[in-house]
Structure 1
């Protein structure tokens, strides 16, 4: 098991998630719980995963007025997951209040990391310019959001592997980079535009990876996950 590779549980129910994890000997691996699963099952799924020793990234991408996000984060803090996220597009005040909510909501001293989403990996430069009306190139906007997130108290960002090195240069080596869009060499890109392999992510300094369909839709998911770990830990790099 790698503590750095989070498996995206993109399943509609807890039962399907549980069956997948058990049948493929993936008990205890770090997992990402997104909106589909959390909105169906509620907070109870977090407790079930914790009972089986899964580190958890709760991927809800909160984006609302600062007070609402602060109150939501105060509630989420009680779940004591490893990470939870917001959209950086919500602005600096929203990120600050999100962090405030996480700190106030923690009753046991557990500190959930706050991660800000920069630009979704499903987007490319054209979409960003013409649909979001954000001028400039994608790299510069991503770095801008990362710097704003750090200044506002976030512990790291979700970004493409391709922006990691520049973010580290601007925000420091301890600022966490969580990189989705991870694919093994033999799998397709699907709806992701800015993707990479675990080895490329390692070489570019990523801290944490999120891998989904390359594992969940593989003929042998256990072997696919182990292949991701092998690529990530190449050259003596370990989690």
Structure 2
């Protein structure tokens, strides 16, 4: 049977009241919530505290990218806040990644570090504009994921279209957190490399990050149940293919 990935609901809202309302609607059906750049910039550490006070765990998605000392300091503070997961860009390089890993180890925190490979909003043309030369997008994802694994990180954040390749090249132990998940009934919005919850589950994702299909729904709790029912159906039906 397929492993059922855990759902992370993205609190991509601009204030504590909205975030708190979503957590209250969805917890304990959902136990893990993403606090990203928008909410953290608006409300700071209080955003993490509000989720934790209501029983939820926090995926702190700040995509840190700076010199090693600065990132290590930020990671220490994320651990002190009690975040369960924290993201940083793999493209920050080996020294930055290793400094972050060392900072978490020294803190004694169980917080997991996850490296962002290539943003799901980028396609091959967008990646070429960023790096200034032609690169195979999937090869770049594997290169950055391998670097993160070598530096001791717990996992990576990658497009759903790279799940199978990452599993094949880096093994089953690397934690794969997958954004760009859009149910068949939801709009893709600004995401380029998307996949349904069903197909991402079959491919081998550990966590699925879903925001607007839930948070922008008329009834977020109902949308959540609809997605969880889809994941449950995949786990119970091992005849699906990917």
Q: TM-score, normalised by structure 1?
A: 0.92
- Superposition pairs of residues 179-198 of structure 1, within 5 angstroms: 179-198=178-197
* Structure 1 partner of 2:235: 236
SS at match of 1:141: helix
1:27 correspondence with 2:27:
yes
**Structure 1 residues 34-85: Cα deviation after superposition (integer angstroms, max 9, x where no partner):** 0111122121221221121112100000000111111111121112221101
Structure 1: tracts of 5 or more residues without a match: none
* Structure 2 partner of 1:8: 10
Cα distance change on mapping 1:18 and 1:66 into 2, 3 Å: same
SS at match of 1:6: strand
Asked if 1 retains the 8 angstrom alpha-carbon contact of 2:5 and 2:205, the reply is no
Structure 1 moving runs of 4+ over 3 Å: none
CA distance in 1, matches of 2:46, 2:77: 13
1:75 correspondence with 2:72:
no
**CA drift at 1:99:** 0.9
SS at match of 1:127: helix
Which range is displaced more, 32-41 or 115-124?
32-41
**CA drift at 1:3:** 7.4
Asked which structure has the greater RCO (Cα within 8 Å, sep 6+), the reply is 2
**CA drift at 1:131:** 3.1
**Structure 1 residues 92-115: Cα deviation after superposition (integer angstroms, max 9, x where no partner):** 111000111112233xxx310000
**CA drift at 1:119:** 0.1
SS at match of 1:177: strand
**CA drift at 1:168:** 1.3
CA distance in 1, matches of 2:216, 2:9: 12
Which range is displaced more, 194-203 or 3-12?
3-12
Asked if 1 retains the 8 angstrom alpha-carbon contact of 2:180 and 2:195, the reply is yes
* Structure 1 partner of 2:54: 52
- Superposition pairs of residues 95-134 of structure 1, within 5 angstroms: 95-106=97-108, 110-134=109-133
* Residue from 90, 93, 96 that aligns with 2:92: 90
Q: TM-score, normalised by structure 2?
A: 0.91
* Structure 2 partner of 1:201: 200
Q: Alpha carbon RMSD of aligned pairs, Å?
A: 1.7
SS at match of 1:56: strand
Asked if 2 retains the 8 angstrom alpha-carbon contact of 1:8 and 1:210, the reply is yes
* Structure 2 partner of 1:43: 45
CA distance in 2, matches of 1:134, 1:159: 21
